[in-house]
Structure 1
Amino acid sequence: MAGVLAYRPDRSRSAFVFSMTDGSYHADKLIEFLAELRAYFAGEQVIVIWDGLMAHRSKAMTAWLATQRDWLHVERLPAYAPELNPIEQVWGNMKSTELANLCPDILDEVRIATETGLTRIGSNYDLCHSFLDHTGLSFNSATSYNPYDELTDGAAVTGRARDGPRAPCAHPETNLPTDQPIDSQAP
């Protein structure tokens, strides 16, 4: 399972996008996910903030990221700091709600419960922002370093891949139509 939380710096919008696949995530699968993310954000500048997962630091990922600088910038979280990663709150929320006390007879029941939970999270603007608030991070500090002229021209995204239940790729409905990029409504 791979997922990203996306936020407008002015807090006017948020989105949660996820993908589930057979097996574990490795660099090639994450590159595919990031390519889908590019299409989702329809040409917007994106800053990805992620942890030190081995696939995030692989040679293949590093080489691919070097070719994506026109739309994508990556910032890494400090090592051993899951409390700074809002996506960790997503996984915990889903596990404590839809997966709590689940005793499935078949693996497909876990996939359905997981998709239900992730869709619930993605459709709740306040919940998505509460995960960011929980970390204590804000976009005020992010604006001090901006590889693009104005952060409001892009979206800040936090993400993490997790090995999860086997399931086909799925994208939940969020508070944004998938054919509409996040647009800034900053004053």
Structure 2
Amino acid sequence: MCQEGWGGFNEADFARLLDAAHQQLAGPIVLVWDNVNTHVGARMRRLIETRPWLTVFRLPTYAPELNPVESVWSHLKRGLGNLAPCTLADLAQVIRSRLKQMQYRPALLDAFLAHTGLTTDLRST
């Protein structure tokens, strides 16, 4: 699926992912993106323009404090300090499992967003 190096998504990959998410969720999608090159190019702008169900908010160029995903990774890494997996596959499995556990903790996910100072209330923007 991915064409750019080690697991990096290109525009076609993002299009497939967004279309699949939209089909599964059957509703509009709000996407908050940083300014990675595959997020801001002309091809991606055209992709976004052709999907009326997609609203995109862009973070400033370098603003990890505004990106809730940074808190997710920080939280995850804190729990890996004394872990000694035998293989890279073992490490990947632990990470997948812990990310899956996080998705069932809405208060934790809310805290990651609250840490940024951002809000999900679109009326306040």
TM superposition score normalised by structure 2: 0.83
Q: CA deviation at 1:125?
A: 0.9
Aligned to 1:107: 88
Hey, which of these two has a bigger chunk of helix by percent?
A: 2
- Kindly indicate whether residue 36 of structure 2 is the aligned counterpart of residue 56 of structure 1: no
Equivalent-residue separation in structure 2 for 1:81 and 1:123 (angstroms): 27
- Kindly indicate whether residue 55 of structure 2 is the aligned counterpart of residue 73 of structure 1: yes
Change (3 A) 1:39 1:92: farther
Aligned to 1:88: 70
Q: CA deviation at 1:86?
A: 1.1
Q: CA deviation at 1:120?
A: 1.0
TM superposition score normalised by structure 1: 0.58
Task: Return the letter of the residue paired with 1:94.
Answer: L
Aligned to 2:16: 32
CA RMSD of aligned residues (A): 1.8
Instruction: Mark the runs of 5 or more structure 2 residues left unpaired by the alignment.
Output: 1-5
Q: How many equivalent pairs are there?
A: 120
Hey, which of these two has a bigger chunk of strand by percent?
A: 1
Q: CA deviation at 1:128?
A: 0.7
Q: CA deviation at 1:47?
A: 1.8
Equivalent-residue separation in structure 2 for 1:30 and 1:92 (angstroms): 24
- Kindly indicate whether residue 123 of structure 2 is the aligned counterpart of residue 143 of structure 1: yes
Matched residues, percent identical?
32
Superposed CA offset, 1:79-112 (max 9, x none): 2111111121112111222x33333322211210
Q: CA deviation at 1:67?
A: 0.9
Instruction: Mark the runs of 5 or more structure 1 residues left unpaired by the alignment.
Output: 1-21, 146-187
Say whether the 8 Å CA contact 2:68–2:113 is kept in structure 1.
yes
Higher RCO, 1 vs 2 (CA within 8 Å, ≥6 residues apart): 1
Q: CA deviation at 1:144?
A: 4.4
Task: Return the letter of the residue paired with 2:44.
Answer: M
Misfit runs of 4+, over 3 Å: none
Say which SS state the counterpart of residue 139 (structure 1) adopts: coil
Equivalent-residue separation in structure 1 for 2:85 and 2:41 (angstroms): 35
